[in-house]
């Protein structure tokens, strides 16, 4: 598993949440950013991606 891959997609998810909600609390680097929330989103997404990449038998839900 590549750390850069999990970091990339976790980072992407934080950006996606910010874009979808149009809420500045999720916009990293913004004065209104809620760092605890953006860090929680990032770390949860990173863990999910690491688990996904560790399990090579990824299947669509039935």
- Give the predicted TM-score (pTM) of the model: 0.79
Q: What is the pLDDT of residue 2?
A: 73
Q: Which of 3, 6, 7 is nearest to 52 (CA)?
A: 6
Looking at per-residue confidence, does 23 or 59 come out higher? 23
Confidence of residue 57 (pLDDT cuts 50, 70, 90): low
> How far is 50 from 14, CA to CA, in rounded Å?
16
Residue 60: pLDDT above 60? Answer: no
Cβ proximity of 55 and 44 under 8 Å: no
State the first-to-last Cα distance of the chain, in angstroms, to the nearest integer: 26
Looking at per-residue confidence, does 3 or 61 come out higher? 3
Question: 6-38: per-residue pLDDT in tens?
Answer: 899 999 999 999 999 999 999 999 999 999 999
Cβ proximity of 45 and 10 under 8 Å: yes
């Amino acid at each position: 598993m590549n750390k850069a891959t999990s970091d990339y997609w976790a980072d992407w998810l934080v950006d996606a949440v910010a874009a979808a909600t149009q809420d500045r609390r999720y916009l990293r680097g913004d004065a209104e950013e809620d760092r605890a929330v953006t860090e929680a989103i990032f770390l949860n997404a990173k863990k999910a991606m690491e688990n996904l990449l560790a399990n090579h038998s990824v299947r669509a839900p039935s």
